[in-house]
């Protein structure tokens, strides 16, 4: 009888043992805590509880640092309140927050989205583009890829559906007037972290930071948030430039874009020109593909910036 009870107890504890995440559950963005950090924390908690035969040790206090109760450790459900396809492969999605609560992120911080495709759990990082002080909602840009697993999940979304997020993550904290000028280098959806930072600057009458925003896209039609970018460029301290890799003729562009658009790629010569025309000593923010980020870091160093004069999202 005693052996049977011991076996049942052992089986019960084994059922409570945390399951190690699969590689697909890591978004690869360097989040802290990562899903593997959480696994090792829960495993240590389980081992201590099992050794003490005390299941109450399995629970721990959750982080509740954000007004929306968002937590880096636990996924929370948010309803999709609006969803627009803004280019052939990119969606602008709005999520509702309870009441009029703010999300509680610093401008430029990101969240991790969880999706399930063919019984496989996947996680990807996205940066909200909504203002940091937005109440009752947050918004993200999500680019879908033909073979992307998360893309399949996103394409299936409809207004009213639920998506699961955790966060915030990210170590860049913008402080008003901390830098003389921000040189923002963004490729594609790498524009996302720049948007709330830029908005926080232009929304504040006391923030006199200059901003030079360089947006890299393949085509003019593929540029995100054109209206927003045009509005921001009207501020006295903001300049916007565009680099289009698959356009060749300025005659194809509206007049308002012709003087501030370069054709080809953002290369060493153009970076040196941009750094040279900054009105104050620049601090650079870079976000894009891994290759874009790597190239920009190299170009900025060659242009005279030091490693503590730029941040790579």
Burial 145-155 (b: 16+ CB within 10 A, else e): eeebbbbbbbe
Question: Alpha-carbon dihedral of residues 11, 14, 16, 19, nearest 10 degrees?
Answer: -150
> Is 120 assigned a ligand-binding role in the annotation?
no
> Is 150 assigned a ligand-binding role in the annotation?
yes
- Three-class SS state of 97: coil
> Is 260 assigned a ligand-binding role in the annotation?
no
> Is 57 assigned a ligand-binding role in the annotation?
no
Q: Tell which residue, 7, 6, 29, 31, has the closest CA to residue 290.
A: 29
The pair of structure tokens assigned to 201 is: 């600057």
Q: Tell which residue, 45, 61, 60, has the closest CA to residue 13.
A: 45
> Is 97 assigned a ligand-binding role in the annotation?
no
> Is 194 assigned a ligand-binding role in the annotation?
no
Reported as type and span, the H/E element at residue 14 is: helix 2-16
- Residues annotated within the binding site are 124, 126, 141, 143, 150-151
**Binding-site residue positions for FAD:** 124, 126, 141, 143, 150-151
């Amino acid at each position: 009888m005693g052996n049977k009870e011991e076996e049942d107890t052992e089986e019960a504890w084994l059922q409570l043992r945390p399951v190690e995440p699969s590689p697909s559950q890591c978004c690869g963005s360097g989040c802290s805590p990562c899903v593997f950090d959480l696994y090792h924390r829960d495993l240590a908690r389980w081992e201590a509880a099992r050794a003490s035969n005390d299941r109450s040790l399995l629970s721990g206090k959750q982080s509740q640092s954000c007004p929306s109760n968002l937590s880096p450790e636990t996924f929370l459900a948010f309803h999709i309140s609006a969803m627009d396809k803004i280019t052939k492969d990119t969606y602008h999605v709005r999520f509702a927050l309870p009441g009029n609560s703010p999300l509680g992120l610093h401008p430029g911080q990101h969240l991790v989205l969880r999706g399930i495709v063919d019984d496989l759990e996947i996680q990807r990082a996205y940066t909200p583009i909504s203002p940091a002080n937005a109440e009752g909602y947050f918004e993200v840009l999500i680019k879908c890829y033909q073979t992307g697993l998360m893309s399949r999940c996103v394409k299936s979304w409809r207004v009213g559906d639920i998506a699961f997020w955790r966060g915030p993550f990210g170590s860049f904290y913008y402080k008003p007037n901390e830098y003389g000028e921000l040189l923002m280098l963004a490729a594609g959806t790498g524009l996302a972290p720049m948007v709330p930072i830029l908005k926080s600057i232009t929304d504040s009458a006391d923030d006199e930071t200059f901003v030079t925003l360089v947006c890299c896209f393949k085509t003019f039609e593929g540029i995100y948030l054109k209206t927003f970018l045009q509005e921001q460029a009207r501020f006295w301290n903001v300049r916007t430039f565009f680099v289009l890799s698959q356009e060749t003729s300025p005659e194809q562009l509206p007049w308002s874009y012709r003087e501030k658009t370069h054709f080809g790629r953002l290369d060493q010569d153009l970076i040196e020109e941009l750094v040279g025309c900054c009105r104050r000593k620049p601090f650079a923010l870079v976000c894009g593909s891994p290759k874009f980020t790597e190239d920009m870091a190299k170009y900025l160093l060659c242009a005279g910036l030091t490693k503590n004069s730029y941040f790579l999202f």
